[in-house]
Amino acid sequence: MKVGLEFNLSDVHVDAQQENSQRQVAISVFALPENTSNSAARAVPLNICLVLDHSGSMRGEAMDTVKQAAKELIQRLQPGDRIAIVGFDHEATVIVPNQTIDNLDWIEQQLSQLTAAGGTNIDAGIKAGIEELAKGKKDTISQLLLLTDGENEHGSNDRCLKLAELATSYTMTINSLGFGDRWNQDVLEQIADAGGGALSHIATPNQASTEFEKLFNRVETIMLTNAHISLRMVNGTTLAALKPVAQVSPETIELPVITEGETAMVRLGDIMVDTPRVILANLYLPQLAAGKHPITEIQVCYDNPATGEMGLLSEVSTLETEVQTTYEPAPNPEVQTRILALAKYRQTQIAEKKIAAGDHQGAVTMLQTAANTALQMGDQNAATVLQGSATQLQSGAALSEEMKKRTRMAAKTMIQPSEPTS
């Protein structure tokens, strides 16, 4: 198993007359299986911990559908895979200690006994989940699936984020699932972003199985872990000072950058076969003489859990630009779409800040701009959600909690056609 790397500039041509030029580079990172048969897709055992909110607000249909969705996920595990289940209300309890799935009936029986009561302490659940994952992380794909329907009333949101960062340092990934419309989208998004995972929204109980299945399908395609990408600037090229690197697919995330000299390092985390991680880096180029020039050297460092090898390195790839005395623009449509995806996310973020500040007209303008951006990139479903939010605000009504969640998801991801948008 090796890492694949593809990259393109927003415009490979640069005007020799310009003192400074700005360019964006889209870099796709994906796993390249040596064997394309189906058996290769699960060459690495999974190590999964379900961390499930069973506070009092989950009572009834919510708890029943979550347990059924969890049961369906467990049934998809294969011999050699590992499972742990942690339940949390105002404190955390290990329902199923980390183990292989040899005793499936017992595991499902333990899950079925989970009942809804008490308050909510998310960080206690995450901590217990990390401890269980650690027992089976050697040579596996370690994933924590956190589900909650409410605020962290008995815990600390700051501690949640610190635990998510701790998990990634141990090559674990945390995915967040928000159930209903009362969960804190800022906190769960930050946990997923810091934990290197995905954010999912279970709007209604009958969507629980579908969202668990989507997340499991994604987890099954992970082949490489703990990936970092290094960007070494050459010929005077520099990264933008503010928000220089962001992931734009499969979801949009503002990525932290560690800089040492001319090299910037960004953590990517898990690398999948079917779905590349695409990052967008914002570069500034100095004035250069006419001709072709290298501007950035790109390399990926990663672990291969199938072989137990760590710190593997891809070949160094060189990004070049062509400086022209007579400049002829050559915009890359694919990169332009990536730029629009990031713009959609950032425009929606600005709108949310304006709502919080009481500037509803400013929020309407930004949401309409984000909707138009979504249309430009072909994301009709996101455009419908974002325009719907703008229209609701424009009418003088506040956004419902449900609409806030849908707006966030529309900004962060490309909504699939099968998902409801109205």
φ, ψ at 150 (rounded to 5°): -150, -175
Q: What is the pairing mode between strands 20-32 and 2-9?
A: antiparallel
What 8-state DSSP symbol labels residue 11? Answer: B
| 8 Å CB contact between 69 and 208 | yes
CA 291 from chain centre, in angstroms, equals: 38
Residues 277 and 249 sit within 8 Å (Cβ to Cβ): yes
* Other beta carbons within 10 Å of 105: 7
The reply to whether 288 and 270 lie within a common domain is yes
- Considering 222, 243, 276, which residue would you say is the last residue of a domain? 222
Domain stop point among 290, 313, 333: 333
DSSP E strand boundaries for 133-272: 141-148, 172-179, 196-202, 222-233, 238-239, 245-249, 253-254, 258-260, 263-272
Helix (H, G, I), strand (E, B) or coil at 184: coil
Which CATH number does the domain housing residue 297 bear?
Answer: 2.60.40.3670
Confidence (pLDDT) at 133:
98
Question: Is residue 103 in some structural domain?
Answer: yes
Same domain, 339 and 328: no
Do both 315 and 378 map to the same domain?
Answer: no
Question: Would 418 be classed as within a structural domain?
Answer: no
Residues 58 and 122 in one domain: yes
Specify the residue for token string 């700005």: 22
420 found inside a domain: no
User: In this predicted structure, what is the pLDDT of residue 422?
Assistant: 38
pLDDT the model gives residue 37: 54
Q: Which residues contact 3 (CB under 8 A, 6 or more apart)?
A: 29, 30, 31, 32, 224, 227, 271, 300, 302, 312, 314
Residues 51 and 148 in one domain: yes
Q: Does residue 350 lie in a domain region?
A: yes
Roughly how many angstroms between the first and final C-alpha of the chain, as a whole number? 42
Is 359 within a domain? yes
- CB under 8 Å to 49, separation ≥6 — which residues? 83, 84, 85, 86, 98, 129, 130, 132, 133, 143, 144, 145
Are both 210 and 232 inside the same structural domain? no
Instruction: Determine the structural domain holding residue 150 and report its residue range.
Output: 42-222
Looking at residue 244, the DSSP 8-state letter turns out to be: -
Residues 88 and 127 in one domain: yes
Do 102 and 177 lie in one domain? The reply is: yes
DSSP 147: E
In a domain, 381, yes or no: yes
Count CB atoms within 10 A of the CB of residue 261: 7
Pair 201, 230 in one domain: no
Counted domains in the chain: 3
Report residue 15 CA to chain centroid gap: 36
Task: Tell me how long the chain is.
Answer: 422
Comparing CA positions, the residue from 170, 169, 114, 171 lying closest to residue 147 is 114
Q: What pTM does this model have?
A: 0.93
Backbone angles phi, psi at 282, to 5 degrees: -100, 110
- Residues 343 and 99: their CA atoms lie apart, in Å, by 44
Rama region for 13: left / alpha / beta (φ>0; ψ in -120 to 50; rest): beta
CA distance 155 to 260: 36
pLDDT tens for the chain, 422 residues: list them. Answer: 899 999 999 999 999 999 999 999 999 999 998 765 544 447 799 999 999 999 999 999 999 999 999 999 999 999 999 999 999 999 999 999 999 999 999 999 999 999 999 999 999 999 999 999 999 999 999 999 999 998 988 989 999 999 999 999 999 999 999 999 999 999 999 999 999 999 999 999 999 999 999 999 999 999 999 999 999 999 999 999 999 999 999 999 999 999 999 999 999 999 999 899 999 999 999 999 999 999 999 999 999 999 999 999 999 999 999 999 999 999 999 999 999 999 999 999 999 999 999 999 999 999 999 999 999 999 999 999 999 999 999 999 999 999 999 999 999 998 655 444 33
Phi-psi region of 196 (alpha: psi -120 to 50; beta: other; left: phi over 0): left
Confidence (pLDDT) at 416: 55
Q: What is the CATH number of the domain that holds 92?
A: 3.40.50.410
Q: Is residue 419 part of a domain?
A: no
Do 367 and 410 touch, CB atoms closer than 8 A?
A: no
The SS3 of residue 318 is strand
Residue 34 confidence (pLDDT):
73
Going from the C-alpha of 350 to that of each of 129, 249, 252, the distances in angstroms are 34, 20, 15
Residue 60 — left, alpha, or beta (φ > 0 → left; ψ -120 to 50 → alpha)?
left
Q: Are residues 214 and 107 part of one domain?
A: yes
Q: Which helix (H) or strand (E) holds 317?
A: strand 317-324
Residue 368 is assigned to a structural domain of this protein: yes
Q: 133 and 279: one domain?
A: no
On whether both 139 and 285 belong to a single domain, the answer is no
**What sign does the dihedral 268-271-272-276 (CA atoms) show?**
positive
- Cα 58 to the chain's mean position, in Å? 26
Q: Which of 172, 201, 222 is the last residue of a domain?
A: 222
